[in-house]
Structure 1
Amino acid sequence: MRQPRATANRTVLTTAGLILLTGGTWLATAGTSLTDRLPTWWPTVSEGDVLLNREDLAQLRDHAWWTATVSAAGIIITVLLVLWFLSQLHIRTRSRLPLTAPGSELHTRALKDALTRRVTAVNGVARCHLHIHSRRRHLHVRMRVWLAPDTAPGHVLERIHAVTAEAEQAATPYTLEARVRLSHENHPAPHVR
């Protein structure tokens, strides 16, 4: 499942790319010999002329809507780009999460240490490294688990699922989403001297 941020980024980049491609195509074909093949509604420019000359610009400025529309579009585009940029910044997550019991809280560092110990204790796990990010009422846990040589991942995944389900119950009212990346520890290569 993709992150919503990655999907939004791809959508914005695709839209901007299509707009730039359309504008570039128009600029590249508007004053060339291809103008005969363009649809009738496609705007064309005569040879040696500019897209928007002084007379056309003066005519547009005579309309009351022109200045307000250009200013509003510029402001809206700027605000949207600033908001998009700010959403890309990594925001440090809270280290203390309030729980349902009055006066109780959970330190994300303590949860991380407990989960690391529990996952490392699973039979067949050589080592584990994890990150916890909290956002609103969701805990996102990313685990990198190295399996011991000749360990089947199926049994290990079942045990890790049980550990994360127990952690989700302990972290109520937060929901926990865990992503596990499995790798195998390599057999040590025999050295012959």
Structure 2
Amino acid sequence: MRPFRTPVNRLVLGGTGLALLLTGGWLAVTGTSLAHRLPSSWAGPAAGDSVLLDAGRLARLRGEDWWTPTVIAVAVTLSLLLVCWLLAQFRSGAARPLPLAAPGGTVRTRALAEALARRATAVPGVARSRARALPRSRQRLEVRVRVWLRPGVSPQSVLPALCAVAAEAEESAAPYTAHTRLRVSAESHRMPHVR
């Protein structure tokens, strides 16, 4: 489901951003007032057709020394944050193959993570698991394993087997120094509800 959900997520976010950008641009260029289109339950302008920031108050703020640098700094910071977030949506950390100790041998990080998740799920007492392998540098690999235990299983009973699986994964990434972070959670008891 993940390969389908990611492009849909990106399309929805991109479409929403484009719609907001076009709407904001249209409102900025045309200058049409939306006050008469707002629901009657919303608080409207006070008597005398006042606004939140009238022309006189805006002129006084523009005369202050701190106003222009603050507005520019906030706008640039927000723009950079949004651009970084947008670029992060298109980044796929699992696409780079990892070179192995054998000459010419490589493994995809996603394949390594899937094999690790299957091995962790095979441990008795583990209901399901999820793993990620993230190359952090040329010699360092970060492995994250999330495990959900079956109801009634204590973490102490499965931890030695999970540590052995993690050690095996670290050895299989031989030229890399792998650091494994293991997160253990318990599945909730699902009680049937009567209505």
Scaled by the length of structure 2, the TM-score of the pair is: 0.50
The question of whether the paired residues in 1 share the 8 Å contact of 2:110 and 2:132 is answered with no
Give the letter aligned to residue 177 of structure 2: T
CA distance in 2, matches of 1:102, 1:132: 21
- 1:131 maps to what in 2? 132
Aligned residues: percent identity?
Answer: 50
Does 1:118 pair with 2:122? no
- Counterpart AA for 2:191: A
Structure 2: gaps of 5 or more residues:
1-79
Q: 1:158 aligns to what?
A: 160
Q: Which residue of structure 2 lines up, in the alignment, with residue 141 of structure 1?
A: 143
Aligned residue for 2:153, secondary structure, equals coil
Distance 1:179 1:168 in 2: 11
CA–CA distance in structure 1, aligned partners of residues 172 and 184 of structure 2: 25
- Deviation digits for residues 1-29 of structure 1 (CA, Å, limit 9, x no counterpart): xxxxxxxxxxxxxxxxxxxxxxxxxxxxx
What SS does the corresponding residue of 1:155 show, helix, strand or coil?
helix
Q: Output the amino acid matched with 1:139.
A: L
Aligned twin of 2:102: 101
CA contact (8 A) 2:120 2:162 kept: yes
Q: Would the aligned equivalents of 2:129 and 2:147 in 1 still touch at CA under 8 Å?
A: yes
Counterparts of 2:127 and 2:102 in 1: how far apart (Å)?
A: 36
Does residue 184 (structure 1) correspond to residue 179 (structure 2)? The answer is: no
Cα distance in 2 for partners of 1:153, 1:103 equals 39
Query: How many angstroms apart in 2 are the aligned matches of 1:95 and 1:146?
Result: 28
Aligned residues: 119
**Distance (Å, rounded) in 1 between the aligned partners of 2:186 and 2:103:** 43
- Which runs of 4 or more aligned residues in structure 1 lie more than 4 Å from their structure 2 counterparts after TM superposition? 89-92
Q: Deviations for 1:64-110, whole angstroms, at most 9, x for unmatched residues?
A: xxxxxxxxxxxxxxxxxx9xx98xx7564452011121111111121
Residue-by-residue CA offset, 1:108-155 (whole Å, 9 max, x unaligned): 121111101000001111111122110221111112211100001012
Q: Is the 8 A contact 2:143 2:178 kept in 1?
A: yes
What RMSD over aligned residues (CA atoms) do the two structures have, in Å? 3.5
Aligned partner letter, 1:150 = G
> How do 1:80-95 residues align onto structure 2 when only pairs under 5 Å count?
92-93=92-93, 95=96
CA distance in 1, matches of 2:101, 2:146: 30
Q: Is the 8 A contact 2:145 2:181 kept in 1?
A: yes
TM-score for the superposition, normalised by structure 1: 0.51
Q: Identify if the C-alpha distance between structure 1 residues 92 and 190 changes in structure 2 by more than 3 Å, giving closer, same or farther.
A: closer
User: What SS does structure 1 have at the residue aligned with 2:118?
Assistant: helix
The C-alpha deviation readout for 1:45-80, integer Å capped at 9, x for no partner, is xxxxxxxxxxxxxxxxxxxxxxxxxxxxxxxxxxxx
Unaligned runs of 5+ in 1: 1-81
